[in-house]
Amino acid sequence: MIIGNAARAWAPLAAAFLLAGCAADAAPAGSGQVPPALAGTWSASSAKVDTVGVAAYLPDDPALLGLRLHVAGDSLAMDGHTCKSPAVATETLTLRTLIEETYETSPDAMGVASADVPQPTHFITCGSGDIGPSYDRGSWIAQLSPDLIAMSWFDGVLLILKR
């Protein structure tokens, strides 16, 4: 009888462990809106380029420096790309970690200063649309200061934007 009760209790216990393991591997919990600190219009002031392989752009390419990012609580838009109903997960990471996980080069090769300073980083997944390439955790924006952000962009580009 004891063995029968233990066997019946084992299935729900195993399911709970499996679900807990899946939740631990999932992306960090996110809010339904973009953090208020990112709200407003941002202008690309610099463009760093992953030059490993074929590069579509040059560093500080004029085509990239003309980009403007518009951020509201429920959307982000830039250069014909719009992210609606974003889900945002925030972590504190260094630009070195972000660059090494995102690009095929190092921060030093891209000319990124202060790459080892931890920054609040917002991983963004869109309910519809996109706001840059989608990595394992979504596109990302790192807050370098209240008026300066770094953002992953298409074609191996890292944009630095000013408010």
DSSP state of 105: S
Cα–Cα dist 59/49, whole Å: 5
In this prediction, residue 157 has a pLDDT band, given cuts at 50, 70 and 90, of very high
- Could you tell me if 6 and 14 are in contact, meaning their C-beta atoms sit under 8 angstroms apart? no
pLDDT of residue 29: 43
Q: Where are the domains of the chain?
A: 29-162
pLDDT of residue 22: 37
- Which secondary-structure segment (H or E) carries 15? helix 2-25
- Choose between 121 and 137: higher pLDDT: 121
Average pLDDT, integer, range 27-38: 70
Q: Degrees (nearest 5) of the Cα angle 125, 130, 131?
A: 90
CA proximity to 38, closest of 151, 135, 116:
151
Q: Which of 20-34, 133-147, 149-163 has the lowest mean pLDDT?
A: 20-34
Please write the tens of the pLDDT for every residue from 57-108. Answer: 999 999 999 999 999 989 999 999 999 999 999 999 999 999 999 999 999 9
pLDDT of residue 31: 56
CA 122 to chain centre: 5
In this prediction, residue 28 has a pLDDT band, given cuts at 50, 70 and 90, of very low
Average pLDDT, integer, range 112-135: 93
In this prediction, residue 40 has a pLDDT band, given cuts at 50, 70 and 90, of very high
- Could you tell me if 60 and 70 are in contact, meaning their C-beta atoms sit under 8 angstroms apart? no
- Choose between 68 and 19: higher pLDDT: 68
